Amino acid sequence: MNEIELKFQVPAGKRQALLHALTQTKGKAKANVQTLRLQAQYFDTPDQRLAKAHVSLRLRQEGDDWVQTLKCPGENRWTRLEHEVPRAAHGGEPRLDTALHAGTAAGEQLAAALGDQAASLQVYYATDVQRTLRMIRSTGVLAEVALDVGEIRAGSDTRELHEIEFELKSGSVDALVALAARWVARHGLWVDVISKAERGQQLARRESAVAPVYAQDVVLKEPHSPDAALRQMVAACLAHLLPNAAEVAGGAAQAEHVHQTRVALRRLRTALRIYGDWSPAVDADWEPALATLFGQLGGVRDRDALQADLLPALRAAGAPLAELPAEAAGPAIDELLRAPATTRLWLALIAFSQAAPAETETPAPVGGLRALAAAKLDHLHRQLAKDAKSYADFADEQRHRARRRIKRLRYAVEFTASLFRAKKVQSYVQRLKPAQDALGEYNDLVVAEQAFTQLLPAQPEAWFALGWLAAQRKELLDASEHRLGKWARKPGFW
C-alpha cells in the first residue's frame, strides 16, 4: 500500500488547544475519537542495514492487538510503501517474522536491504505513544488525523514525541493539504518530514541531529509533458529541502543543515524561474516568498562560512583578530521556518508536486521535451558566455550576478540531464564546476571585505584582515576570470 501523510510538529503553547479541537465540540467529547496506547519495537541489524536503506520494521502492540509493519521509501518524503500484518500474541509477544512481507513491493526492498542478515535483526529502539485518533471528512477528502504524544527510547536515552499526522484515506492530495492548512493557521503547526524511525536511529546513535540531506539526481519520468516534468523537479527539490528545513525549524540544526536548506531553496527557485512557464498551475506568489526566505537565511550562511573558513586562515597568518559583530536583531532562522506562512508555502508546493498535470496538456515524445529544455539551457549558456567576455571590467555586483547565473545554469542542466546523453552532460558539468568554484571563492572574499569594513570603527585590528584580503583579491579575480573564460570557449552539449 502506498501511504500519503503530512506530519507536523505542535508548538508547546498550542498543545492543549489542539487536543481540545481534535476531541471536543462545545465542551462535549466527539463521538468518532479513539485513544490508543501504542508500544512499538523497531528492529535493525548490528550494522544498521535497514537504517541505511531508509527501511523501518516494527512490532507494535495496539491495545490488546499486535501488528507487524514494514515501511519503505516511496517517491518522496510524504509517500511510503507500507505493508502491515496482524499478529497473534498467543499469551505473549509475537516473534518478528520477515517472511510475512514476502511477495510485496515493500518486502522486496526489505530483502534487498537485509541480504543474508535477517537472523541478526534485534531491537534497536522503541516508542511508547498515546495516540488520539479521529477521522475527518472535509470537502474532497477523508483523512485520518492522529495526535501522537509520548517518547522514543534507546537504552537509557529518551526523546519526547508530540506530533500530528494527516493521512489520506480517500480524496485528493489538494484537499488533504487544504484541510491541514486550516489546522496550521489555527495552531501554528510546522512541517516535519523526519519519521519516528529516523528520530529513533538518531537517538540510538546519540547524535544531536539527523544527518543533512543532499540533492539527488532528477530522472524525469513519463508522461514527458512540460507540466509533469516541472512537477517532478519541484518534488525533487522538496525532498532535498524539507528534511533540512525540519531540523532548522526544530532548533537542532548544524551549519550544514542551514547550508543545504539554502542550496535546496536556490534549486527550487531555479526550477520555477527557468521552467516555471511549463505549467499553468505555478503560483506567481511562490517566487517572492521563496526569495525573501532565501535572503533571510543568507546572512546566517555567510557568517558560518566566515567562521569556518576565513577566521582560521587569518589566525594562521598571525592576525590580531577582530571579532565578528553580533548578529543583527530579527527573527531567528528556526522561527522563520516554523512560521505558518512558511508552512503554508511548503504545503502549496507539495500539493503542486503531487497533482496530476493539466488535463489540457498532451504528453510529448521525449525528443519534444528535450528540445524545449535545450532552448532554455542555450539561453542561459549565452547569457553567461556574454558575462565571461566582460567579467574583468565588471563591478563586484555584476560579478556576483554572474555567479548566480552559473549556479542557475548548473541546476537547470541537472534538472533535465536525464533527457540528454549522460557523457555529454557530465563533461559539460565538469567544465562548469571549476568556474563556479572560482567565482564562489572571489565572492566569499568580497563578503568578508564588507564584514570587516563594518568592524573598523569599533575594532581597528580589522585593518589587518582587510590588508590580508586585499593581497588575495587580484589572484582570486584573475583565477575566476580565467576559468569562466575557459568554460565559455566551448559550446553546450545540446
248 residue type, one letter: V
The answer, yes or no, to whether the previous bond of 325 is cis (omega within 30 of 0) is no
CA pair distance 210, 74, nearest whole angstrom: 19
Per-residue model confidence (pLDDT) at position 462? 80
Query: How do residues 436-466 score in pLDDT, each as one tens digit?
Result: 999 999 998 898 888 888 888 888 878 888 8
CA pair distance 343, 347, nearest whole angstrom: 6
Cα dist. 339→215, 255, 465 in Å? 24, 20, 38
Higher pLDDT, 27 or 245: 245
Higher pLDDT, 329 or 167: 167
Per-residue model confidence (pLDDT) at position 183? 97
Cβ-based neighbour number of residue 172 at 10 Å:
16
Query: How do residues 459-484 score in pLDDT, each as one tens digit?
Result: 887 888 889 889 989 999 999 999 99
- pLDDT bin (cut points 50, 70, 90) of residue 4 is confident
CA pair distance 54, 483, nearest whole angstrom: 40
441: Cα separation from own chain's centroid: 26
- pLDDT bin (cut points 50, 70, 90) of residue 312 is confident
Q: Is the dihedral of CA 278, 280, 281, 283 positive or negative?
A: positive
For the ranges 144-158, 251-265, 382-396, the lowest mean pLDDT is seen at 251-265
Using the structure block, give the residue that is written with the C-alpha cell 583565477: 479
Per-residue model confidence (pLDDT) at position 433? 96
For residue 275, what is its C-alpha cell? 521552467
Angle, CA of 307, 309 and 315, to the nearest 5°: 80
- pLDDT bin (cut points 50, 70, 90) of residue 63 is confident
Per-residue model confidence (pLDDT) at position 73? 86
Q: Is the dihedral of CA 329, 334, 337, 341 positive or negative?
A: negative
Per-residue model confidence (pLDDT) at position 328? 47
Per-residue model confidence (pLDDT) at position 329? 44
Q: What is the average pLDDT score of the chain? A: 91
For the ranges 66-70, 130-134, 235-239, 447-451, the lowest mean pLDDT is seen at 447-451
CA pair distance 182, 432, nearest whole angstrom: 45
Higher pLDDT, 394 or 460: 394
Residues in the chain: 494
CA pair distance 30, 299, nearest whole angstrom: 48
Domain 2-207 sits in CATH 2.60.120.10? no
Which option is the CATH number for 255-488: 1.10.10.10, 3.40.470.10, 3.40.50.2300, 1.40.20.10? 1.40.20.10
- pLDDT bin (cut points 50, 70, 90) of residue 367 is confident
For residue 282, what is its C-alpha cell? 505555478
Cβ-based neighbour number of residue 43 at 10 Å:
19
CA pair distance 264, 4, nearest whole angstrom: 22
CA pair distance 129, 40, nearest whole angstrom: 9
Higher pLDDT, 317 or 406: 406
369: Cα separation from own chain's centroid: 27
3-state secondary structure the chain: CEEEEEEEECCHHHHHHHHHHHHEECCEECCCEEEEEEEEEEEECCCCHHHHCCCEEEEEEECCEEEEEEEEECCCCCEEEEEEEEECCCCCCCCCCHHHHCCCHHHHHHHHHHCCCHHHCEEEEEEEEEEEEEEEEECCEEEEEEEEEEEEEECCEEEEEEEEEEEEEEECHHHHHHHHHHHHHHHCCEECCCCHHHHHHHHHCCCCCCCCCCCCCCCCCCCCCHHHHHHHHHHHHHHHHHHHHHHHHCCCCCHHHHHHHHHHHHHHHHHHHHHHHHCCCCCCCHHHHHHHHHHHHHHHHHHHHHHHHHHHHHHHCCCCCCCCCCCCCCCCHHHHHHCHHHHHHHHHHHHHHHCCCCCCCCCCCHHHHHHHHHHHHHHHHHHHHHHHHHHHHCCHHHHHHHHHHHHHHHHHHHHHHHHCCHHHHHHHHHHHHHHHHHHHHHHHHHHHHHHHHHHCCCCCCHHHHHHHHHHHHHHHHHHHHHHHHHHHCCCCCC
CA pair distance 317, 315, nearest whole angstrom: 5
477 neighbors 445 (Cβ within 8 angstroms) = no
Per-residue model confidence (pLDDT) at position 304? 67
For residue 2, what is its C-alpha cell? 502506498
Residue 4, C-beta contacts closer than 8 angstroms, at least 6 positions apart: 78, 79, 167, 168, 173, 176, 354
- pLDDT bin (cut points 50, 70, 90) of residue 331 is low
Using the structure block, give the residue that is written with the C-alpha cell 500530528: 164
462 neighbors 455 (Cβ within 8 angstroms) = yes
Q: Domain ranges for the chain, please list them.
A: 2-207, 255-488
Query: How do residues 64-116 score in pLDDT, each as one tens digit?
Result: 899 999 999 887 777 789 999 999 877 788 999 999 999 999 999 999 999 99
Percent of the chain surpassing pLDDT 70: 94
CA pair distance 334, 161, nearest whole angstrom: 19
Measuring CA to CA, which residue among 171, 134, 124, 140 is closest to residue 23?
134
